[in-house]
């Protein structure tokens, strides 16, 4: 089995489809994951599986890979893991996860905003402009800024998973520029398309970070680095001096309007 621990999980699932179902029983959704670069050993670290359950899981995977061995393995831990609590992050990583929560609330509002949008309405244009400001100021400058300028510098950010994340950030910024141009040129079709694409991109992006990247990074941070990150994040917020409450009220107002 040792050779499979360093093999890509997507390749393993492609060769042995039963492995995907086994992982799902332990709350590990590798099949639909679009990152697709994790090795089997990464999966065990990222999801912080208890040692006893890890041994059980690996035995079940081995049985799926080598059915001729007629291994008999119980699955007592699977249900316990899938019903266990949320991922516990260090303080600085939890800050990023909490920022995701507000961003996700905005993403959920986009379909309704598009449905009711009227280009001839000054109020509707103002709402879209505020939404784009939220994307640029909060989601990009504040949130992505903490990731790119601080957190990622503690790691080798040339690794494939970082390239995936950086490319998502690049696409998001390009979509914002297209949104602004669509507003200036009164192009409702392009604006609608850009907003839809942004919502889909960021939803998947946040899933990659919350479920794969952040747990993986958090497990590799030393206590001293965690403390340092907390201070650097606080200083970053102070320098940027964004009015977080303004964005909170903007989201809450739209949620009330569309409820």
- 113 and 70 part of one domain: no
Q: Which of 26, 56, 82 delimits the end of a domain? A: 82
* CB-based contacts of 148, cutoff 8 Å, min separation 6: 166, 169
List alpha helices for 150-243, DSSP H.
160-184, 188-208, 214-218, 223-240
101/143 Cα distance (integer angstroms): 11
pLDDT in tens, 54-80: 888 888 998 999 988 887 776 666 655
Same domain, 74 and 98: no
Do 199 and 29 touch, CB atoms closer than 8 A? Answer: no
Mean pLDDT over 107-114 rounds to 95
Alpha carbons 117 and 202: distance in angstroms, whole number: 21
Tell me which residue range forms the domain holding 14. 2-82
Looking at the fold, whether 74 and 105 belong to one and the same domain comes out as no
CB 127 within 8 A of CB 254: yes
pLDDT band at 83 (very low <50, low <70, confident <90, very high): very low
More confident residue, 178 or 160: 178
C-alpha to C-alpha distance for 60 and 65, rounded to whole angstroms: 9
Residues 110 and 228 in one domain: yes
Check if the beta carbon of residue 140 is closer than 8 Å to that of residue 198: no
Kindly list the distances between the CA atom of residue 141 and the CA atoms of 146, 162, 244, in Å, as whole numbers in the listed order. Answer: 8, 18, 12
**Nearest one of 196, 205, 202, 206 to 113, comparing CA atoms:** 196
107 in the same domain as 225: yes
Q: How many structural domains comprise the chain?
A: 2
Alpha-carbon span 152 to 168, nearest angstrom = 15
Q: Are residues 18 and 58 in the same domain?
A: yes
Q: What is the pLDDT of residue 77?
A: 63
Q: The domain spanning residue 17 has which CATH number?
A: 1.10.3910
3-state secondary structure of 39: strand
Q: Do 160 and 251 fall within a single domain?
A: yes
Residues 140 and 222 reside in one and the same domain: yes
pLDDT (tens digit per residue) in 169-223 = 999 999 999 999 999 999 999 999 999 999 999 999 999 899 889 988 998 999 9
* 143 and 230 co-located in one domain: yes
Domain boundary among 33, 60, 82: 82
Backbone phi, then psi, for 83, in 5-degree steps? -105, 5
Please tell me the predicted confidence (pLDDT) of residue 88: 86
Provide the CATH number for the domain around residue 209. 1.20.120.520
CA–CA separation, 9 vs 17, rounded Å? 11
């Amino acid at each position: 089995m040792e050779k499979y621990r360093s093999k890509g999980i997507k390749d393993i699932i492609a060769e042995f489809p039963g492995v995907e179902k086994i992982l799902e029983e332990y709350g590990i959704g590798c099949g639909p994951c679009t990152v697709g670069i994790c090795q089997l050993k990464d999966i065990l670290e990222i999801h912080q599986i208890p040692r006893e359950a890890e041994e059980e899981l690996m035995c079940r995977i081995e049985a799926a890979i080598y059915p001729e061995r007629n291994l008999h393995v119980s699955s007592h831990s699977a249900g316990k893991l899938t019903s266990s609590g949320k991922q516990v992050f260090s303080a600085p990583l939890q800050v990023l996860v909490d920022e995701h929560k507000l961003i996700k609330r905005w993403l959920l509002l986009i379909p309704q905003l598009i449905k009711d949008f009227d280009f001839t309405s000054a109020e509707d244009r103002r709402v879209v402009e505020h939404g784009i400001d939220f994307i640029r100021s909060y989601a990009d400058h504040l949130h992505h800024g903490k990731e790119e300028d601080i957190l990622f510098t503690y790691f080798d950010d040339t690794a494939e998973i970082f390239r995936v994340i950086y490319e998502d950030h690049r696409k998001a910024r390009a979509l914002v520029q297209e949104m602004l141009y669509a507003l200036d040129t009164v192009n409702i079709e392009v604006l609608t398309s850009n907003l839809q694409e942004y919502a889909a991109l960021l939803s998947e992006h946040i899933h990659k970070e919350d479920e794969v990247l952040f747990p993986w990074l958090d497990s590799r941070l030393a206590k001293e680095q965690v403390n340092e990150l907390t201070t650097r994040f606080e200083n970053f917020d102070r320098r940027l001096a964004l009015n977080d409450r303004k964005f909170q009220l903007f989201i809450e107002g739209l949620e009330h309007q569309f409820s």
